[in-house]
A = this chain, B = another copy of it.
Amino acid sequence: MLTSQRRALIAARLVRDGQIVAGELAQELDLSEDTIRRDLRDMAAAGLLKRVHGGALPLAPPLPDLESRQAMSTGVKQRLGRKAADLVRAGQLVFIDGGTTNAELVQALPRDMALTIATHSPAIAALLEKHRAEVILIGGRLYKHSMVSTGAAALAAIGTLRPDIFFLGATAIHAAHGLTTGDYEEAAIKRAIAAQSAETIALMTREKFGTVSPHHITGIENIAALILPADMEPDTSAPYRQKAVRIIEA
């Protein structure tokens, strides 16, 4: 790898990850830490980044999490994920279901928060690489459609956990039929996690409201909170408010 490529990579990483850890990058690129440090030193002298002990940071820290990111990302799922992340406290055991909305939740979690995160989604687990959190991966047979662990092994592993919060993903929500999903095994897993957890919180986008899928997960009354988009029709969300569910608008 050419020197200039390496420096371009450093610049790209800074944008992508918001930080560079000298030791990690040295190992990843199979170089001595001295080389990385020299790069960082030179690039800092050239005004490309800010040198800090242990690595480097971007010069203009993109005001994280709050204003700039909210301004930048107008995605509904990002907004839901951010609201969900606000509910997480250090020290908790949090179970995160699969799905793209929950992936946004992970992205919105502060990277240095000390907590334990359990998941049966390999994609969610992989996203947590740069986080300080302890990660417990639930194994099992992967259900191909939604890419989460299912089966007896997964159920057994879930039985050993008592999560404080379960962030549930479902394919449909209905005032009468509650939360439902498309696969039998998947529904069983979600039920098991919910049964173990102190609180279950559902993140739902607009198009899922009022729909029903074949397999029942749990009723609305068992949900501690429902996170939904702020710009929904009031009529649509009204039935859930009546069920005494806590509604969080994002």
Binding site for B on A (CB under 8 A): 1-5, 8-9, 12-13, 19, 21, 28-30, 52-55, 57, 61-62, 67, 70-71, 73, 120, 122-123, 125-126, 128-129, 134-142, 144, 147, 149, 153-154, 157, 207
Given A29-B71, A67-B12: A4 touches B52 (CB 8 Å cut-off): yes
The answer to whether A9 touches B70, judged by C-beta atoms less than 8 angstroms apart, is yes
A159→B14 CA distance, assembly (Å): 41
Give 29 A-B contacts (CB < 8 Å), ordered by A residue: A2-B52, A2-B55, A2-B57, A3-B54, A8-B67, A9-B70, A13-B67, A28-B71, A122-B122, A122-B137, A123-B126, A125-B147, A126-B126, A126-B147, A129-B144, A129-B147, A134-B142, A135-B142, A136-B139, A136-B140, A136-B141, A137-B142, A137-B149, A138-B139, A139-B140, A139-B149, A139-B153, A139-B154, A153-B157
A5→B74 CA distance, assembly (Å): 12
The answer to whether B139 touches A54, judged by C-beta atoms less than 8 angstroms apart, is no
Give the residues in chain B near A140, CB-CB below 8 Å.
136-137, 139
